[in-house]
Amino acid sequence: MAHKFLYFTLMFLGLFILMPTQIEAEDFLDRLMERCSRGDTKACSEIDKLTEKYRSQINRLNTQAEVFQSKAHSLDIENNDRADIKKAYPIILNDYMSSDAVDPVHLKRGLKPNLINICARHLHDLYYKHGKKIPSLESGKPDWGTIYLVVIEHYFRYCSRQSTDK
């Protein structure tokens, strides 16, 4: 769990860094993470400072993911213990957008209904056609808390960004 928390802490720091634009903030964090992974202690220290600065927001988001994990069984988003990513994707995004964990930038950007299904198919294909490992619990059931965080990251840092970068 600590490893998952660290990974998503780093991933979501890009969502909360205040700079002129969200894309610039994400690029800045991506560069910091890359430098840190290469052993740059100054970059790692900067990430630690940002983590502390946004700790309460990160905690709210992780709590929201845990709550989603606890209610996922009642949402009909699994087929024989297999995550139905296409069905869960819009449910997760709507849950996030109506929570107290939503980032103000995401609230302002909102969701693009025509893009959600495209993004859901893309993430589904990454898991089921291209062999990306689906987050799962020790029991083998889907880890909906982690999938929740992955969907948010996928939509806001990758998929919707690709459509606006062109």
Q: Global pTM?
A: 0.78
The count of C-alpha atoms lying within 13 angstroms of the C-alpha of 68, restricted to the half-sphere facing its C-beta, is 30
Beta strands at 82-83 and 78-79: parallel, antiparallel or unpaired? antiparallel
pLDDT of residue 144: 96
What DSSP character marks residue 110? -
Give the pair of three-digit tokens for residue 163.
Answer: 């459509």
CB atoms within 10 A of CB 8: 21
Spatial CA neighbour of 50 closest among 24, 22, 101, 15? 15
pLDDT of residue 147: 94
pLDDT tens sequence for the chain (166 residues): 444 444 455 455 444 443 334 445 556 767 777 888 889 899 888 888 878 877 888 889 999 999 999 999 999 999 888 999 999 999 999 999 999 999 888 888 889 998 999 999 999 999 989 888 889 999 999 999 999 999 998 898 888 776 554 4
